[in-house]
Amino acid sequence: MQRFKQPKSLETLSLSRLADWVALQAERQMAPIGALAQRDVAGAQTTLAHLVATTRTHLEYNVPWMLYDPLAIECIRALTELLDKIKQALGFRVAMGKFVSQMNIAVSMIEVVFTQSLTFLSIDTIPKIMRSVFYNKLHMLTGLEFLNLGSLSGGWKTSDMEVSIIQALKELHRLKYLCINYDCTDNILRCIVANCTNIQKLDVSSSKSITDDSIDIIAKLKSLKSIQLYRTFVTVGGFAKLLIRCKKLEDIGRSIKASFTSEGVQHHPPAPRARGSNRFECSHVH
């Protein structure tokens, strides 16, 4: 049993101070980059990009790959504190251009952890002001194994999100867990089948574009062990087809209309069954 109020490890303290150093680099460059932006906007953007690239290189050379996930968490924490500091120091008392410039620098510095060493990313834990950076640069995180994209647009702009998600997923060949709520489509599923062949857990809950036709695509994921189809338009027949065709499936999650376990499968022709299925949640079972 872990002792109460244990001191933080040297590893944790080192990562915390390193993240503070990243935030300090952003803070130190705010004045010169802001002054440059008033004369040459393109030059200011180039200088900021050079700062991000240089800092990323320093981290890649000095931080072991297995520590990048906790480093990313610490960098998000340090830069969030910097954003709060800017809001409190400037607020509405200065020119909007200066305020936006400093906020942009702080947000952009999170890109220093965008390397193939990052394996875990959950958008839900990231402040909203930083999420656009992750969405736009997701293709750089080629080492990701766990990706939770959360609710994205909440289903309001599914067609707008589809293109950017597909472009990113084409580069994420190591993914084992993927969560896309509300905005998953058949085109995204086809991209997953073609590029993310190691997927074991897939959550597309509340995606209204997912229907029985989508099951034919999902069934091509040979390593799939868990699927969440709650609040989609997959019917009893679709669930039955899923159980029959996915041999390694163990968890089919929740379904309001999941009265299919014996009756739905019997209405399909004999086929190799998913022997490993051992967990499901539903409100009606017959």
pTM summary value: 0.84
| Residue 274 pLDDT greater than 70, yes or no | no
- Using an 8 Å Cβ cutoff, are 100 and 87 in contact? no
CA distance 64 to 70: 11
Q: Which residue has the higher pLDDT, 256 or 13?
A: 13
pLDDT category, 1, cuts 50, 70, 90? low
pLDDT for the residue numbered 269: 52
pLDDT for the residue numbered 270: 47
pLDDT for the residue numbered 210: 93
Mean pLDDT to the nearest integer, 167-175: 95
Is CATH 3.80.10.10 the right assignment for the domain spanning 119-286?
A: yes
| Degrees, nearest 5: CA angle 17-18-22 | 115
Q: Which residue has the higher pLDDT, 277 or 166?
A: 166
pLDDT for the residue numbered 286: 47
pLDDT for the residue numbered 273: 47
pLDDT for the residue numbered 204: 94
pLDDT category, 121, cuts 50, 70, 90? very high
Q: Which residue has the higher pLDDT, 280 or 9?
A: 9
Spatial strand order of the sheet with 226-228 comes to 120-122, 146-148, 177-179, 201-203, 226-228, 251-255, 279-282
- Lowest mean pLDDT across 6-10, 157-161, 268-272: 268-272
DSSP assignment of 118-168: --EEEGGGS-HHHHHHHHHTGGG-TT-SEEE-TTTTTTSSHHHHHHHHHHH
| Residue 278 pLDDT greater than 70, yes or no | no
pLDDT for the residue numbered 282: 53
| Residue 100 pLDDT greater than 50, yes or no | yes
Mean pLDDT to the nearest integer, 65-81: 96
* H or E element in which residue 280 lies: strand 279-282
CA distance 246 to 264: 15
Mean pLDDT to the nearest integer, 1-21: 87
- Using an 8 Å Cβ cutoff, are 184 and 218 in contact? no
DSSP secondary structure letter of residue 233: B
- Lowest mean pLDDT across 19-33, 45-59, 93-107: 93-107
Domain ranges of the chain: 10-113, 119-286
